[in-house]
Amino acid sequence: MVEAIATFGLAVNIMQVVGVGAKFIDLAWKIWRSEKEIVDEFTTSRSISQDLKVALQHIPITTSSPRDPVEDEINSRILALTKKCGTVAQQIINSLDNIGILDGSHRGM
């Protein structure tokens, strides 16, 4: 039951990463078209990505005693998905930082 809840939570986090990625692409296109008011949306995307990265670091991976091979496989898959989501969130943060969105400020384009 715990694995199912953790897996569901991870699936929700994955959907958030995909949603943030799509939003990032849309926002990048708007900035390219020189829509200056978009900076606040970039800041929000960066904040969401940062929050997601922190949340992913706190997903509990349980172990059974004695070790259950099925549970171990589930845990290793959850861990792999968690790491991949964290990597995507960090890539979004890095991309926003590279274009000048740093902690709510804007360096210019």
Residues 42-85 pLDDT 10s: 788 888 888 888 888 887 766 555 677 777 888 888 888 888 88
pLDDT at 17: 82
Number of domains in the chain: 1
- Is the pLDDT reported for residue 107 higher than 60? no
Residue 105 is given by DSSP the state: E
Q: For residue 107, is it within any domain?
A: no
Q: For residue 23, is it within any domain?
A: yes
Q: For residue 108, is it within any domain?
A: no
Q: How far apart are CA 59 and CA 80, in angstroms?
A: 12
- Is the pLDDT reported for residue 2 higher than 80? no
User: What are residue 102's DSSP bridge partners?
Assistant: 105
Closest residue by Cα to residue 53 from 5, 92, 15: 92
- Is the pLDDT reported for residue 106 higher than 50? no
Closest residue by Cα to residue 82 from 64, 60, 51: 60
Q: For residue 46, is it within any domain?
A: yes
For residues 14, 38, 54 and 21, what is the CA-based torsion angle, rounded to 10 degrees?
20
* pTM for this predicted structure: 0.56
Q: For residue 37, is it within any domain?
A: yes
Provide the residue range defining the domain that includes 21: 2-100
Q: For residue 51, is it within any domain?
A: yes
What residue has token string 């995909």?
A: 18
Residues 4-38 pLDDT 10s: 787 888 888 888 888 888 888 888 777 776 656 66
Q: For residue 105, is it within any domain?
A: no
